[in-house]
Structure 1
């Protein structure tokens, strides 16, 4: 091996460069002397004073300051001129930022400087090929170039911007700066090298050792070539000085980024080789790895991401608006049976679980639209429970609250969800008005919307809930609308509370609707201030439904329903039938006829059996009221509400029932079931059971079957197109239960019932012309057609004084709000300025109308409070007695005029023979009517002019009965109503005792008979609650109207109300007056026995008669008590209803201060339009003189 010879080091053998002689005084700038400055200053001062003769001291200071600045500017200008004329060599100057840089960077900078020096006329640089050394020539030995002619001097500032050079064509020459894109450095795969003996693994890590001479020369030459290329490229471009500086800075940055590889030491390599030979080690040579093999095992390079897909926006329900990006994953395992699991998989909403849950997690409020039958009511609470809502250890430990507008739906849905949750069935509960199964273990709570409103009154933030689901929002009940407005503000409140206290979690709200009118929620800016909530659609299982319109619209739709159902049963293939009617009487009538016409599966029963109810069933609703009386005989048929369409006079054929399939046997039995809201849950659940073999299911239902319940097996729907709804006139306060057309949305809901399990058919008993002309798109919200004084009082008691600004989904009319506030002022609940009084706060604690609250507030006098609670319970439930039309089903048929027929046509009734069975039936009916009248006389024994005392007698007698159901049947009472009134008695007793512990003791169901003094006090308490519902007998009014003929019956005696009962002109007495309802106890009095004043509960207008359709129906009032004039004057004191006139007769002046007097005044009840009002008996009072209001009543005397 050759002898080691160390190489010579470049730095040691570099020739020393002679230092260039520097003449520091080549150019000396002498400063201006003080004398010269002072002479120049004096000259400027004299020039300026010649222009201004009178100079003040302040101006003199400003002048001296101006002269000083002027001199400084002249000196700077002179200095700049001298510097511009000087020519200084700056080639050897070095930037401060280059100090301390490494050797290679200094060499590169020197090469760049040398290139720039060559361009200015100095000698270039020398390179030594042997050691690649770079030297700068000595400026003392270089020849001095001849001076170049100086360019013309440009004006000051020309160096900042020069005019562009023009080409031969006259256009400016714009030089583009060329920049080459630098590829991003990619780390090359590191090849694993086999071990080559001692020191093989240490070479790379030894930074202090020297490198091999040959490899070092290769590296140096490579770097020099690169630098030379860069320099030549820059000089060839002929760029300006600024561009050169930019290029130099870029090169310096690149050099700093490049990692300098350490040189290999030749001595170290030689030493390692000698050691390996001494120990006898031979390094192995690894196999040759081809490039394609190396590339196959190389790490894949990251491809650029597809930005187009990322920029595409997510659906609205997946957009994160208030979600937690660091949400903790939590789940609850639920074990279900195979049958329940298969049933759940068949529900459309189960397939949308991921989308729904993502929307709930990412948004504080969402709206879910899903057709009836999609399973949203039963499945969504389970989704939330499995996701951790309601679990104490989850991020959402609060309850899952689900509201329903009907109590029966809350109970039935809770039972269904509990059944599907398997081992967690005890985590589901419900709470309705008189019953609750909630416990500490509850996670899912079903309730009515009124229950949640009560909880909001106690805790506005709803701290124990983590999510609230408002179901059936499309029904637009008053409680639902108020609840939606409340929770929209609670969501914001809980969000701010959670930011201050992390232990309080935000509240989430889900609004579920079954119709397409969701714009009232999603487009209401006042309702959701953070923007419209996302809409999540969950389609229902809907098969095609063929709609068949009738050729003509029949008046008697019950008869038409019987005819079509009978024909359909004979001709249509197998499948259940759903018939929509308006009330219980129609259901009973049609059920009886169908069972008589076909073989029923149940026992034939011509007298409909009574159904017993429980107190926790559905509340009383519009379709449950059967309005009796001589003027209400048209309610069952609604002859005046629909028009007969005779577009086609051809007889109707059977094309609609010819479906091309084999019809059922005409001898098939019918399984007829009723379905309406007053049915108890166990009776309603029968519609979900399979009918007996060999029978057809026929369900007769009211509009409760539209959305609340989904009935399986229904293939045919028969729609009468009508519904019974409660109408309320906001101006007059008159309410009526009218049978009218439904909306198009309701008609579509009814038709959709036939397409749940397969293709179906809907037979509409009205024409398409009536559908297009008379059917509204949607039903008006309940808040627009009901009194809202209770709502206004609740809101004002919670601090919401401006009710008009409350975020209603559909705001009530200003007229309705004004009427509600007027009533509250009459009751003393609001002050004249609209603020809640102490009485109003007490009234708001009761879950009743403010009128009943006023009765409870003043009912403690003379020990009457237990009787007042019983009376309020009876009045609040209402409909306690069976109507006379139910005792005698043919009563309204007798009073109904028979249609005109030709003499040649003999009707079936004329040809019918009066048999012994008919005589027995008439005898039995007469005995029932006598018993009915005897019962009402017995219950009204305390006062034959007070229906309120009759209600009190009935509910107290029911409490003494051992068998309430038997007693109700014997006394013609409604068992369900009395059971509910009894439950309300207990609840109100607890509330009154909690607010006033000393006024009442424990609940006593059996009360003794009230004394005469207590009866008198009870009548005054009722008068105070309904003080504005007063009527005066027309012939005893201050200005009596003209009465054409004297009335013969009590129900024909006209009365005038304090406030108008009709709108528009009222010429006839029958239009101006109201009349006693035939169901009242006063209807048995003679016209002369009728009292002068009557306090009534409400006004009701009957439907128009078909024969006398040109006459306006009478308005009937439901009397409560008959107060005297003195009682009215005393009870109306301190209300806006009463005014006092000037003193009459003798006036006695009393001693003392302030000035007082004793006199007689005449009070008057004042209603609409002011005026003189109704004069009441004079009262003796003591008045005092107020400086602002004049004479005011201090107290009453006697």
Structure 2
């Protein structure tokens, strides 16, 4: 094809000349191979659609290319004059040897311009979403509170955006070394990815995470999402955490053993480091308790309303489900003691009957532990062989990160995800697209069993605050429905907040950790809710009987603490 002959897409397609045109993807003047397009497959799909559009609009003949002088003149109008993308011909573009290659070079520019505008549009939507979050209206309040106080308590309802936005606010305020603790490793990874994306730093190092056996943090990282256990480990090694100028303790309502210990340590740390800023965050926090605890440090409180869509609440204990579904009676537990998955399948059947798949919406099921997840997943997968639009996914802290990430993928149109989870999905992470929540009302917690003189996981009813958190997961992205597999009367008997783990667990591992950190005076440690003095004295006496304190070095304490971190992971599974 000669240079002056015009290309007509009626009898020509660039797709037929892929082999000879592929060389034009390589940038000129580079020692290492550099491709102008990120994905050749995506580029050729774009070319096919572009050619089809030109034919459909009655413009199959590609316009003649303009010279550099013509491109610099605003008149007459030509669409190539309005491309936002420009490449240095001498440095980037291969020389065109004919009309086809010249037009193809132009199409590369059109493609790059299209993708750039697409990215700008996504960024615009991202910024609009950030501005629409309830916490965005409190940005100035947060800054004023931090300027005038060392301790800030953020009581933000579910969906307000505190976990992703507050670290970014601190970065914008000038803090350059921020640690944000999370009770679970999955939350650290998912939040670091999200915050990095919002800061347009997906492939950079400004945002990182640090969990057990894995980290993406570097010496240039400004925002680090870290588990509570690893921050305590850093405290044991680095004394005053001089590497951080701001600490964010997120999800402090969970009240696990080392979470309460970390609160006491940070209270001591505030006296050693007057410039340190401490931010406490939770959705179901006992505001009065935490505010009184840090009152002498001048704690300021900022309450942020949530952004919840309307949620329809339905109490459907198993007998009621059987009446609705018209099935014979069954109990919540099998005779073997294992969880009976039938009520969960019955609720899925109700959802299929009352909400067609054309109305998008995934299901999130809360059960107490891994064994219960396996029972429900097996039953739902059997049900899904008949109703083939269900995608069944387990979610617990013992899964590999790649398996956990599957719950964040969007289901195809006409399909629904059914995510069966422990309380890991209650506060630690948010799965978009959930419209239905099925709450068993149960949770497994570590407690001391006097019969075996050791710790074991036991099943308990959740607290009212946890039940409300679970319900709130149905109203994050649109109106939802929460099915509670217990009665209103049972709910009314629930405790308002979870019982602190420090009141029902042996204190030996925590006391050993305190000794390793140079905090030997256990009796005067500032616990937010101190254990009974008898419990402390019994633990000290037991340690004296079984451990020779002169041989208790820091290595042993770290080993004990590592064991407690592993048992804590099992506890939250």
Q: Residue 65 of structure 2 aligns with which residue?
A: none
Alpha carbons 1:724, 1:738 under 8 Å: kept = yes
SS in 2 for 1:429: strand
Q: Residue 396 of structure 2 aligns with which residue?
A: 676
Q: Residue 51 of structure 2 aligns with which residue?
A: none
Within the alignment, does 1:759 sit opposite 2:479 as a pair?
yes
Deviation at 1:421, TM superposition (A): 1.4
The CA distance in 2 between the partners of 1:463 and 1:520, in whole Å, is 28
Alpha carbons 1:485, 1:808 under 8 Å: kept = yes
Alpha carbons 1:404, 1:446 under 8 Å: kept = yes
CA radius of gyration, larger in: 1
Counterparts of residues 157-556 of structure 1 (less than 5 Å): 337-390=123-176, 399-423=177-201, 425-495=204-274, 506-524=275-293, 527-531=294-298, 533-550=299-316, 554-556=331-333
Deviations 1:74-127 (A, max 9, x none): xxxxxxxxxxxxxxxxxxxxxxxxxxxxxxxxxxxxxxxxxxxxxxxxxxxxxx
Deviation at 1:720, TM superposition (A): 1.2
The CA distance in 1 between the partners of 2:376 and 2:519, in whole Å, is 50
The CA distance in 2 between the partners of 1:446 and 1:770, in whole Å, is 37
The CA distance in 2 between the partners of 1:797 and 1:677, in whole Å, is 28
Alpha carbons 2:196, 2:206 under 8 Å: kept = yes
Deviation at 1:466, TM superposition (A): 0.8
SS in 2 for 1:693: coil
Within the alignment, does 1:819 sit opposite 2:531 as a pair?
no
- 5+ residue gaps in structure 1? 1-334, 391-398, 496-505, 601-666, 831-836, 853-872, 880-975, 978-1198
Which structure has more RCO (C-alpha within 8 Å, separation ≥ 6)? 2
Alpha carbons 2:235, 2:517 under 8 Å: kept = no
SS in 2 for 1:738: strand
Within the alignment, does 1:593 sit opposite 2:372 as a pair?
no
Counterparts of residues 1160-1175 of structure 1 (less than 5 Å): none
Q: Residue 783 of structure 1 aligns with which residue?
A: 502
Q: How many residues align?
A: 430
Deviations 1:922-968 (A, max 9, x none): xxxxxxxxxxxxxxxxxxxxxxxxxxxxxxxxxxxxxxxxxxxxxxx
TM-score under structure 1 length normalisation:
0.34
Q: Residue 82 of structure 1 aligns with which residue?
A: none
The CA distance in 2 between the partners of 1:463 and 1:878, in whole Å, is 29
Deviation at 1:479, TM superposition (A): 1.8
TM-score under structure 2 length normalisation:
0.69
Within the alignment, does 1:717 sit opposite 2:418 as a pair?
no
SS in 2 for 1:465: coil
Deviation at 1:558, TM superposition (A): 2.3
Q: Which moved more, 1:682-691 or 1:377-386?
A: 682-691
The CA distance in 1 between the partners of 2:130 and 2:497, in whole Å, is 32
Cα 1:767–1:521 shift into 2, 3 Å: same
Deviation at 1:513, TM superposition (A): 1.0
The CA distance in 2 between the partners of 1:551 and 1:482, in whole Å, is 38
Deviations 1:984-1021 (A, max 9, x none): xxxxxxxxxxxxxxxxxxxxxxxxxxxxxxxxxxxxxx
Alpha carbons 1:730, 1:815 under 8 Å: kept = no
- 5+ residue gaps in structure 2? 1-120, 320-330, 334-339
Within the alignment, does 1:569 sit opposite 2:347 as a pair?
no
The CA distance in 1 between the partners of 2:420 and 2:520, in whole Å, is 46
The CA distance in 2 between the partners of 1:508 and 1:421, in whole Å, is 22
Cα 1:846–1:348 shift into 2, 3 Å: same
Deviation at 1:598, TM superposition (A): 3.4
Counterparts of residues 598-747 of structure 1 (less than 5 Å): 598-599=384-385, 669-729=389-449, 733-747=453-467
The CA distance in 2 between the partners of 1:530 and 1:731, in whole Å, is 43
Q: Residue 511 of structure 2 aligns with which residue?
A: 792
Deviation at 1:729, TM superposition (A): 4.0
Cα 1:491–1:822 shift into 2, 3 Å: same
Deviation at 1:793, TM superposition (A): 2.2
Deviation at 1:844, TM superposition (A): 5.0
SS in 2 for 1:529: helix
Alpha carbons 2:160, 2:305 under 8 Å: kept = yes
The CA distance in 2 between the partners of 1:407 and 1:366, in whole Å, is 24
The CA distance in 1 between the partners of 2:128 and 2:154, in whole Å, is 24
Deviation at 1:878, TM superposition (A): 8.1
Within the alignment, does 1:772 sit opposite 2:492 as a pair?
yes
The CA distance in 1 between the partners of 2:488 and 2:349, in whole Å, is 23
The CA distance in 2 between the partners of 1:403 and 1:701, in whole Å, is 22
Alpha carbons 2:183, 2:428 under 8 Å: kept = no
Deviations 1:1096-1144 (A, max 9, x none): xxxxxxxxxxxxxxxxxxxxxxxxxxxxxxxxxxxxxxxxxxxxxxxxx
Deviation at 1:565, TM superposition (A): 1.7
Q: Which has the higher helix share?
A: 2
Deviation at 1:543, TM superposition (A): 1.7
Deviations 1:432-463 (A, max 9, x none): 22223332212111211122212222333322
